[in-house]
Amino acid sequence: MMLDDLFHSAFPHKLQADLVEAIADAYARNMPLHDESIGHDAASFGFLNYKTKTFNLKNLAADNPEIKIVRSSPYLLLQAGEFLLSSYNAGDASMEDDLLQCFPRNKNRAPVMTRENVIQLKLDLKLPDEEDFTGCRQLVLCDVGDPTNGLAAVFIGVPVETDKGKISKWGTHWELWRRPGMDVSIDFTPIQPARPVVPPEILQPINLIRKSNRKADANNA
């Protein structure tokens, strides 16, 4: 079976939508907390967003038999079908036009995932110098966005090359969602925990009431 067929078998449309919602919910909850006037920056937003994102993904796995938790700490590793899935931010919203140039900044897991895929690579004998990614099973769920512009795109990539410890090339990728325009807001229903899956002292669910955009409302009136 070809890699694309294996992917869509492991990640049906509903699961893809659930993964996007888990990430979008993290952005919706954490963007109102971001405050540069007290020293917040891209790093602090990324850390907080990662915590909420993995919290949501763990709850999704607890309630969805199509995906399961392989490892919770020190990093989250999920399994869907034959694939192992990690999740990282892969760039800010300005980079969403070319997802193949969006890569996680993470150095810890990148070489490990890539090495596992490279071991499975082979040359297609029918197409000289063309690589066959059918055997690759390490995937990365990538969100592209930032605390100012929000979530711009979500895709899953197959890492096949690293440079200085970071992923530098995707063998192939599947785009799950892309915001049609930078001025279009996201309206996802926040995910509610199905059951406690992480210690409360690490992260508690955050209940926020987002303020309405009065300027936008006035323009739409």
pLDDT at 24: 97
Using the 8-state DSSP alphabet, how is residue 135 labeled?
T
Q: How confident is the model at residue 211 (pLDDT cuts 50, 70, 90)?
A: very low
What confidence tens digit (pLDDT) does each residue in 161-194 have? Answer: 999 999 999 999 999 999 986 443 344 443 344 3
Q: How confident is the model at residue 85 (pLDDT cuts 50, 70, 90)?
A: very high
Using CA atoms, how far apart are residues 108 and 60, in angstroms rounded to an integer? 24
Phi, psi for residue 85 in degrees, rounded to 5: -130, 125
pLDDT at 125: 52
Using CA atoms, how far apart are residues 30 and 150, in angstroms rounded to an integer? 10
Q: Give the residue numbers spanning the domain of 172.
A: 3-220
Using CA atoms, how far apart are residues 116 and 149, in angstroms rounded to an integer? 34
Using CA atoms, how far apart are residues 155 and 132, in angstroms rounded to an integer? 20
Using CA atoms, how far apart are residues 168 and 103, in angstroms rounded to an integer? 7
Is the pLDDT confidence value at 210 over 90? no
Whether residue 86 contacts residue 79, with contact meaning beta carbons closer than 8 Å, is answered with: no
Beta pairing partners, 42: none
For residues 144-151, give the mean pLDDT: 94
Question: Which residue spans within 90-188 are E strands per DSSP?
Answer: 122-123, 131-132, 138-146, 150-163, 166-178
pLDDT at 122: 67
Is the pLDDT confidence value at 47 over 90? yes
What confidence tens digit (pLDDT) does each residue in 116-144 have? Answer: 998 887 655 555 556 778 889 999 999 99
Q: How far apart are the first and last CA of the chain?
A: 53
The share of the chain scoring above pLDDT 90, in percent, equals 65
Task: Give, in order, the Cα–Cα distances in Å from 95 to each of 10, 66, 166.
Answer: 28, 31, 17
Report which residue type is found at 38: I
Strand, coil or helix: 149: coil
pLDDT at 207: 47
Beta pairing partners, 68: 79
Name which of 9-23, 30-44, 54-68, 98-112 the model is least confident about: 98-112
The answer, as to whether pTM is greater than 0.85, is no
Number of separate domains in the chain: 1
pLDDT at 181: 66
